A and B are shown apart, each in its own frame.
Chain A
Amino acid sequence: MRVLQIDSRLGWFEFLMLIAHALTKWFLVPTGRFCAVDHLSFTVRPGEVYGLMGPNGAGKTTSMRMLLGLLDADEGYAEVGGFRTDVAPREVKSRLGFVSASDGVYPWLTVREMVLYFADLYDVAPDIAQQRLEEFARLLEISPLLDRRAGTLSTGQRQRVTLVRGLIHDPPAMLLDEPTRGLDVVGSQTIFRYLSHLREVGKAVIVCTHRLDEAERVCDRFGLLHRGRLLHEGTLHDLQQQTGREHLVDMFVDLLRSANGTGTGSLESQEVQP
């Protein structure tokens, strides 16, 4: 296990919460199979927000699902808190919080019932879960919603509920897949406030987002993913030096142009190996 590594800048041993080791996933398609994620490797420290960026179909969601153990990797593995996804999937799952834009709610349960149900799934003692729920509800301003049916919530309210739900077992690492999709400016700001809070309390966070401007402000490090490969990795400063561009938006445009000349990186244009 490579949980401890020497930090090149600090010259100090540091603890790695999340590690991806050459994660690879092939999908079968009618014309053959294509590589959705190609030997993806990266690490995330506690208290660090890692932005996994890339156009649609770059393999971000598939990578997240492999980290979570929802999909089995064809090659490589991930480690969370020292546990390997392929060896101890339950240990890994209990150490990860997960929030996605496509997250739904149980329309007939109240917010409180739903969050406590997830606490039960993560085996959190009911009294502790209740305590955390009140605390996170205050933080994300959903205290008045706790006893309302989840089906009656607005999109923004629903997203805040799923943020609380992802945190209820107090995981050391969080995965957020497009958390701002479908949210207005206020809603997005809440998400980025939440990310800052996660960093403050020392969580290792991976976030996928298309809000590049906000990501520049909130992420400590970035990985630029294209066609399943990690093309660039580092802090914003590192990326600026690597690409010679000031902003992530420009880096993205360059990336897409150089990769296929058309500027679209959708799944359909992936090269297919029979």
Chain B
Amino acid sequence: MRGTAGRMIRLCLKELRETLRDRRTVMTLILMPILVYPILSMTLNRFLLGSALSVDADQPESIIGVATDEEAEVMRTLLSQEGSKPPAAVIAASDGPPAIFAVLGPKEWAQYGVPRVDPTKSLEDKWFDVFVEVKLEAPPRIRILALRGDVTSQATQRTLVDRLNYLNQSFVASELASARIAPPAQIQLDVERVGIEQSSSLLASIIPLVLVLMTITGAVYPAIDLTAGERERGTMEALIASPVSRGAVLFAKYIAVVTVALFTAIANLAAMFVTLWASGLMERLMGTDGSFPWLQFVQIFLLLILFSGFFSAVLLTLTSFARSFKEAQAYLIPLMLLSLAPGVLSLMPGIELTSLLAVIPLLNIILLSREILAGSVSSGTMVVVIITTIAYAAAALSIAAKLFGSDAVLRTSEQSIGASLRRPAATRPVPSWSEVATTLALIVPVYFVLSTFLARMAPQSEDVSAITWALVGNGVALVIIFGGLPTFAAWFCRDQFYETFRLRRPSILSSAGAILIGLGMWTWAHEVFLFAQWLGIRGLDAQRIAKVTEAAERLRLVSPWLVLTVFAVAPAVIEEWCFRGYLFSALRARTTAAVTIAATAILFGLFHVVTGNVLLVERFLPTTLLGLALGWVAWHSGSIWPGVLLHLSHNGLLNLVIYYKERLVGWGIGVQENAHLPLAWLAAGCVLVFAGAAGVYAGRSRSEA
């Protein structure tokens, strides 16, 4: 095992060495950021200088709000003085004429219909660009309020400060000119930002776009060079003639591409931040104080890892098709244009990271980065974005491994690209890695979108037909996602259903044992649930818990048969079909039983955590425990059917208890939701589980165990 890991590391190192020694990689890696950002910042600086003088060409006046008419008069007097005009050199350097200020006091408020609200509110409602408070002393003391994160407001504030500073300087100049020794009068200036952070800060919108561009810049060349380049150099045949799996070779290339993409991204990110920070633009763009924004730097870097991991996989899929550099470049141009679209889209303020957009590749990462930078991200959505992105990357990589060095790529004859993605001609016993990765990449987003949709459609009233339809909808969604998708994949790839879904007949002993485990298991699950809560793993607040309880109460309005069908029979059959059938057989053919059981149980647990937009983290431990039991039973019995029985008896018992809770309490058998079970119950549960386990073990299948 250690030898294999060592070999994998050496394979990765070779790819990295090859790429990093290449002059062209080094050019994009180092020279680009060093040259591009200073030039970019100079342009930007000039642009901002211009915009600071004339805040907006279409709207020549910057509006200053003041509370009293006396203050308005003072402001007008100050701004009308010749000394407050920018020096000639500054006007010459800017593109437009200097900004004009309109001061609105209470007299004018009525004229424009400005309501009498506090200064912060009036700024948030965009009545004024800045609000000014003038203390009528000699010299006057002025306090300028600007809206936090609002570009126009802050630009106006800076311009106003500049103007008043010019005025101060002109005072000094005139005082000195008349040779008076006493210190000249100075206006006192205080600058303050008010209101809540506005989400559309300029940097939060631009960073995602730059992020796309710089990662692409770094990843494109190595991706082409390490795949299509192999063929062009004539090393492909020798590589494919070796007994190492294409997946391993491609994975090493993937690691190299991701590494180079990350290096490029770090170099670009550092160059960008340092340039912006050193030139003082950072303050103007982000509205931070003068210190280096470490937090944003780290946040963006973490996003970059996710982004480059995803993008490199997609790049490799495309370049693995290609037979030459030219061909690869032709494939990549549409991809680049396509990936710019979400970046541009994210600049629009109206687009938000909804549950549907959270599963759209690329757009989800860019919107996530915008929300993280704006500080308005929800953890549930973030987890969904990360999980779906990883699933997409895995699927892309498995397709790439299939294409890399395939018949179509290796041969000189014209072979259509689609040939590698067609239905295979021969049947095979169990699903392949690439098939499983692709199926999971389909299941994750479909599951997320459907479950969010169903959660939103959940009936809030006690209308029986609405509840019935919601339940039916749940059942159908389950059948489509965990039943339909794996079945379709198995049919499409010509997997043998009997082996893939492990349909062999189990022994009576193992079936009976599985039912016993199912009847006793809930006591364990309950205790694990309490343990998870004790650890502080909690996804629901009191309000949500109340909602869930309410929803459970409502279920009593419909027939117990419907409840049992949707929450016991359907999950028992369909979830086992997917997890202990499809996934189990694919994993079992390639790894040990322990790894198979653990991996399917963790996946099973994870799918139960994400329900709609809410993360039910406390469900992870109990469901994973149940998944482990189901996996163990599936392994020993060699079939999915005992697992179906276990799942059915477990879910059936729980749902009946919830359904008939009041009647049970009436009989004196009540269970406090957040209390430990009585010892006698726990003991009974243990006896059932162990007796069942003994049964399963005694009736185990010879071929498996």
Q: Using a CB–CB distance below 8 Å, which chain A residues touch chain B? A: 27-30, 65, 68-72, 89-91, 93-94, 96, 98, 100, 102-109, 113, 117-118, 120-123, 126, 162, 165-166
Contacts and interface: CB of A to CB of B under 8 A. Distances in A.
Contacts, number: 81
B241 A96 contact: yes
A244 to B, nearest CB: 37
A102 B240 contact: no
Contacts of B233: 104-107
A67 to B, nearest CB: 10
Interface string B407-419: 1001101110000
Interface string B222-246: 0000000000011101111111100
B235 A108 contact: no
B244 A123 contact: yes
Nearest to B6: A126
B638 to A, nearest CB: 25
Given A68-B241, A70-B240, A93-B242, A120 B7 contact: yes
B229 to A, nearest CB: 9
B201 to A, nearest CB: 43
A90 B244 CA distance: 8
B241 A70 contact: yes
Given A28-B413, A29-B413, A106-B233, A72 B242 contact: no
Contacts of A165: 238
| Residue among B14, B237, B242, B410 facing the most chain A CB atoms (10 A cut-off) | B242
Contacts of A104: 233-235
Interface of B is mostly: helix
A108 B413 contact: no
B14 A109 contact: yes
Interface stretch (B16-24, B213-221, B295-303): B16-24
15 contacts: A27-B413, A30-B414, A69-B241, A70-B240, A98-B238, A100-B238, A102-B234, A103-B235, A105-B233, A106-B233, A107-B233, A109-B17, A109-B21, A113-B17, A122-B243
B10 interface: yes
A93 B244 CA distance: 9
A111 to B, nearest CB: 13
A59 B249 CA distance: 29
Nearest to A175: B241
B410 A70 contact: yes
A108 B234 contact: no
B11 interface: yes
Contacts of A28: 413, 415
Given A93-B243, A104-B233, A109-B18, A118 B238 contact: yes
| Residue among A30, A65, A106, A162 facing the most chain B CB atoms (10 A cut-off) | A106
Contacts of A113: 14, 17
A27 B407 CA distance: 11
Contacts of A103: 234-235, 237-238
B8 to A, nearest CB: 9
Contacts of A30: 414
Interface string B17-37: 111011000000000000000
Contact of B18 (A90, A98, A108): A108
B10 A120 contact: yes
Contacts of B238: 98, 100, 103, 118, 162, 165-166
A121 B239 contact: yes
A105 B238 CA distance: 10
Given A70-B237, A165-B238, A121 B18 contact: no
Interface of A is mostly: mixed
B639 to A, nearest CB: 29
Given A103-B235, A108-B18, A118-B242, 10 more contacts: A29-B413, A71-B407, A93-B242, A98-B237, A102-B234, A103-B238, A106-B233, A109-B14, A120-B14, A121-B242
Contacts of B415: 28
Contacts of A102: 234, 237
| Residue among B7, B11, B14, B243 facing the most chain A CB atoms (10 A cut-off) | B243
A89 B245 CA distance: 11
A90 B247 CA distance: 14
Contacts of A117: 10-11, 14
Interface in B384-418: 407, 410-411, 413-415
B14 to A, nearest CB: 5
Contacts of B244: 121-123
| Residue among B14, B22, B241, B407 facing the most chain A CB atoms (10 A cut-off) | B241
Contacts of B22: 108
Contacts of A120: 7, 10-11, 14
A106 B234 CA distance: 9
Contacts of A93: 241-243
Q: Would you list the 7 A-B pairs with minimal beta carbon distance, nearest first?
A: A104-B234, A104-B233, A121-B242, A93-B243, A108-B21, A94-B243, A90-B243
B241 A106 contact: no
B413 to A, nearest CB: 6
Contacts of B249: 121
Contacts of B235: 103-106
A69 B237 CA distance: 11
Contacts of B19: 108
B40 to A, nearest CB: 31
Contacts of A109: 14, 17-18, 21
B393 to A, nearest CB: 25
Nearest to A72: B407
A156 to B, nearest CB: 16
A118 B410 CA distance: 19
| Residue among A93, A94, A108 facing the most chain B CB atoms (10 A cut-off) | A108
A69 B689 CA distance: 51
Given A108-B17, A121-B243, A122-B242, A71 B411 contact: yes
A69 B240 CA distance: 9
A108 B244 CA distance: 22
B368 to A, nearest CB: 36
Nearest to B232: A104
A208 to B, nearest CB: 14
Contacts of B17: 108-109, 113
| Residue among A94, A105, A120 facing the most chain B CB atoms (10 A cut-off) | A120
B287 to A, nearest CB: 46
A123 B21 contact: no
A100 B237 contact: yes
Contacts of A98: 237-238, 241
A91 B413 CA distance: 28
Contacts of B234: 100, 102-104
A179 to B, nearest CB: 13
Contacts of A106: 18, 233, 235
